[in-house]
Amino acid sequence: QVQLVESGGGVVQPGRSLRLSCVASGFTFSSYGMHWVRQAPGKGLQWVAVISYDGSNKYNADSVKGRFTISRDNSKNTLYLQMNSLSPEDTAVYYCAKATYAVGTNSELDYWGQGTLVTVSS
Amino acid sequence: EIVLTQSPGTLSLSPGERATVSCRASQSVTSSSLAWYQQKPGQAPRLLISGASSRATGIPDSFSGSGSGTDFTLTISRLEPEDFAVYYCQQYGSSPPTFGGGTKVEIK
């Protein structure tokens, strides 16, 4: 069965960095695009970033452009989100999610991890 | 970007009743690229419907989706106790993908 397990969340001061990881199993990781989606406490879902199956295409939301970088290591079945210059507005549960296509943002998200909480506070 | 507006914000119903959730887009959604997700407290979202009307694997036929263009609807024909949750629509036809604000279906 498909499993996505995020890690790397925690409490971090404003302006600092954090790297999230998502380990995938139960499917051919290298064949699918992968997304990060976040959810601020008590709020709705916000798309963050997507990466193509081979890592050659990446797209970010405007709200994180220039600060967050999505990447993947297909040899380790792992997705990453490097988050720099964090602000309190980035406080959220971060979910990794599997796309149903290999490339682009045009995909529903058919499997989600349980999420990892990032809290940005001094 | 396409803004999705869900209504109502909260739906108070009893088990066995029919639930209807609306999702309206600020512009036409390409190729009916509209999905619905269910989220229960403390859990990740779960895909229910894609392509506006296709149920995901394992989703009971009490859930149905319809619509095209700018107006979409999720219908739960008969609410079971486990269906009380928050429901989100998402469009993925245009970049960036966007989500609606959510509709909470609560027990009356």
Task: With beta carbons under 8 A apart, name residues in chain B contacting A35.
Answer: 97
- Between CA B31 and CA B15 the distance in angstroms is 34
Task: Please report which confidence band the pLDDT of residue B30 belongs to, taking 50, 70 and 90 as the band edges.
Answer: confident
Residue-wise pLDDT tens digits, B46-84: 999 999 999 999 999 999 999 999 999 999 999 999 999
Angle, vertex CA A110, rays to CA A108 and CA A115, nearest 5: 105
Q: Note the pLDDT of residue A106.
A: 85
Q: Which two tokens stand for residue B53?
A: 């009307």
Q: Note the pLDDT of residue A15.
A: 97
Nearest chain A Cα distance for residue B7, angstroms: 14
Give the number of other CB atoms < 10 A from CB of residue A26: 12
Contact A44 B56 (CB under 8 A): no
Q: Note the pLDDT of residue B35.
A: 98
- Asked if B4 is an interface residue toward chain A (Cβ–Cβ < 8 A), one would say no
- Indicate the pairing of strand A3-7 with strand A18-25: antiparallel
pLDDT mean over B13-33: 95
pLDDT mean over A1-14: 97
Contacts (Cβ under 8 Å, ≥6 apart) of A27? A2, A98, A111
- Asked if B104 is an interface residue toward chain A (Cβ–Cβ < 8 A), one would say no
Task: With beta carbons under 8 A apart, name residues in chain A contacting B89.
Answer: none
pLDDT mean over A60-71: 96
Residue-wise pLDDT tens digits, A73-107: 999 999 999 999 999 999 999 999 999 988 877 89
Residue-wise pLDDT tens digits, A15-42: 999 999 999 999 999 999 999 999 999 9
The chain-wide mean pLDDT, for chain A, equals: 96
